[in-house]
Chains A and B, each alone.
Chain A
Amino acid sequence: MKTKSYNSAKTLPADDHSPQAPLSIHDLTVAYHRKPVLWDIDLDIPEGKLVGIVGPNGAGKSTLIKACLDLIPTASGLVQVYGQPYKKQRAMVGYVPQRESVDWDFPVSALDVVTMGLYRDIGWFKTVRKKHKEIARSALDRVGIAHLADRQISQLSGGQQQRVFLARALAQDATLYFMDEPFAAVDAATERAIVTLLKDLKNQGKTTLVVHHDLATVSQYFDWVILLNMRVVAAGPTEEVFTAENLHRTYGGKLTLLAEAGHALSQIKRP
């Protein structure tokens, strides 16, 4: 990991022009209805990495992404994107949600959905113009389904639907991407296409965080890994962090971790 260089030890890392991590999370805690789901997350993601987020079902992987994107309230903590609060940096951040999160019967075409990634640029009270459609079409082309642009989205296969979501994030031209299970239930060809795309993004110096469930391909796809189970079990370069022991602590130790945390919580008095 690159270390930040400051001129003197006395200089505080204020918001000067020192290189900033694309994503840094401090003391993040998230609870749903007072049941904690993420506990004390501290992370600094280095620039230009392809980062896998790995952990069992219900570990809080989606919650982590949503908390970073300000989609759910957090109990405490600070999320910064390139040294600024996320709210100021929204345009730099692209999001690929889990495929089940939308109604695919909605009366929109693939191209419409991709165009939605440009609504910020288009602005309030303005209509989608030809140039926006062209951007959207070339994003669809990058994921190999430009010929399906006018299809209603329920008439696409699972893999194609996933590509539409990826194209939408590409159209936005962000520098930091969050992708929630893009590989879930896609065909082999789509999986290869996504891997190529992720490599492309990395070569362009972009940082991408990907929730991933297939442990077998983690070390092949990602150069950085976050092992998550309510807390960050380990995070760092894949070859250092993706070890049997850490995996055991992430998956096998699920019950003990939760018990510990539950105990810790019961010690806290709530208003």
Chain B
Amino acid sequence: MTWFVDDTWIVIIGALTAIACALPGCFLVLRQMSMMGDAISHAVLPGLAIAFLVTGERASFTMFIGAAVVGVLTAVFTQWISSLGKVDRGASMGIVFTTLFALGLLLIVQAADHVDLDPGCVLYGAIEMTTLDVAWEFQLGETWIEVPRAAMVLGSVALFNLIIVVAFFKELKISAFDPELATTQGINANFMHYLLMTQVAVTTVAAFEVVGSIIVIAMLVTPAATAHLLTDRLGLMLLLSAIIGALAAGLGHLLAIVIPPLIGFDGTTTSGMMAVTTGLLFVLAWLFAPRYGWISRLVSRKDVKSPFSGPLPSD
């Protein structure tokens, strides 16, 4: 196995994606809205396509804004349809995102005649190619560091999400736990909802274009769910989810290099492997987590006098 500078960059880009996704992802998981990330990441497709058709550029800022707006609209439409009654939130989400996604695919197929905007590439991404597009170079001692554009973009998004989560930690927490209480405390739970949806949309779009949507969906939900199994503290859950996501990015890329030759293939998809690795880490946590893991539950079920099921002083 050989490891190049590019491999390091791929891992860094993957890790930044993971961190950017994990922070809003934790709140999605806790609000039992994991599918919203999925929905938004599909629904942004027409936004990308339209902005692309208008500007004719693949990586324009307009494209980014267009898609982010459509992402937030997904949340708005979903809310709107389910508030009409008779359609639950899951179903309205399904209606909105499949419709938008189909529209987006149509537009892309149309556009594909003229330009290279490949649906497959949008879905699976091409994280391996991202190192070719260098945005910034600087000299560190003897060596030149070439920072890929993808690292800059995802680094900015990760920083944006970090700032939001730190600045609005209390408000995000109370709105996720008890939106009605938030409202009585003068914190507009709706505003916090759309702030979170904006984060998800911005993150999804930024990552989508650079690394593809599969990895985004995996990174939004799985590391957050894994971290939830490992801790009872929200702050720690956020930290752990970022670490787990970054770890999955590193391991995923390593596996993408190591495994295919072993089974006689030479093609690798790093994005796919990173996504699979988040799943593997989840399974490990599900089995071995200290309190909520399958094994420790099995053990504590036998032990009837566990501290959590024992008689309580007031009962």
Which A residues contact B (CB, under 8 angstroms)? Answer: 32-33, 66, 69-71, 90, 93, 95, 97, 101-103, 106-109, 112-113, 116-117, 119-120, 122, 124-125, 127-128, 144-145, 147, 152, 155-157, 159-160, 163, 168, 187, 189-190, 193
CA distance A156 to B61 in the complex (A): 50
Interface class of chain A by DSSP = mixed
User: Which A residue's beta carbon lies closest to that of B236?
Assistant: A107
Give CA–CA (A128, B237) in the complex, Å. 18
Quick one: closest B residue to A65, CB to CB?
B180
Report if A66-B187 is in contact (Cβ < 8 Å); known contacts: A103-B30, A127-B170: no
Q: Who on chain A is nearest to B169 by CB?
A: A127
Known pairs A101-B178, A106-B176 / 7 extra A-B pairs, C-beta < 8 Å: A90-B185, A90-B186, A102-B178, A107-B228, A116-B185, A128-B170, A157-B314
Please tell me if the beta carbons of B173 and A108 are within 8 angstroms of each other in the complex.
yes
Q: Indicate whether B62 reaches chain A with its CB closer than 8 angstroms.
A: no
Question: Total interface residues on B, using CB and 8 Å?
Answer: 34
Knowing A107-B234, A128-B170, A159-B314, the reply to whether A120 touches B85 (Cβ < 8 A) is no
At the interface, yes or no: B139 with Cβ under 8 Å from chain A? Answer: no
CA distance A113 to B181 in the complex (A): 10
Known: A101-B178, A107-B237. A124 touches B315 (CB 8 A): no
Distance between A33 CB and nearest chain B CB, rounded to angstroms? 4
Asked if A145 meets B314 with Cβ closer than 8 Å, knowing A32-B85, A120-B185, the reply is yes
Most A CB contacts (10 A, CB to CB) among B185, B231, B237, B313 go to: B185
Q: Hey, what's the 0/1 contact readout for B213-235 against A, CB within 8 Å counting as 1?
A: 00000000000000010011110
Closest B residue to A128 by beta carbon equals B170
Contacts A66-B180, A107-B237, A193-B314; is A119 near B308 (CB within 8 Å)? Answer: no
Contact assessment for B185 and A119 in the assembled complex, using a CB-CB cutoff below 8 Å: yes
Contacts of A33 in B (CB 8 A): 84-86
Count of A-B contacts judged by CB separation below 8 Å: 96
Residues of A close to B187: CB separation below 8 A: 119-120
Instruction: Indicate which residue in A97, A112, A127, A144 contacts B314 across the interface (CB closer than 8 Å).
Output: A144
Complex alpha-carbon distance, A144 and B315, angstroms: 12
Distance to closest chain A CB from B190 (angstroms): 11
The answer to whether B170 and A122 have CB atoms under 8 Å apart is yes
Residues of B within 8 A of A112 (CB): 173, 234
Q: Among the listed A70, A125, A147, A189, which residue makes an inter-chain contact with B183, where contact means beta carbons less than 8 Å apart?
A: A70
Cβ contact of B177, chosen from A113, A127, A145, A155, cutoff 8 A: A113
Bound complex: CA A190 to CA B315 (Å): 8
Q: How far is the CA of A41 from the CA of B193 in the complex (A)?
A: 32
- Whether the Cβ atoms of A97 and B315 lie closer than 8 Å is no
A161 to chain B, nearest CB (A): 11
A103: B residues at CB distance < 8 A: 30, 32, 177
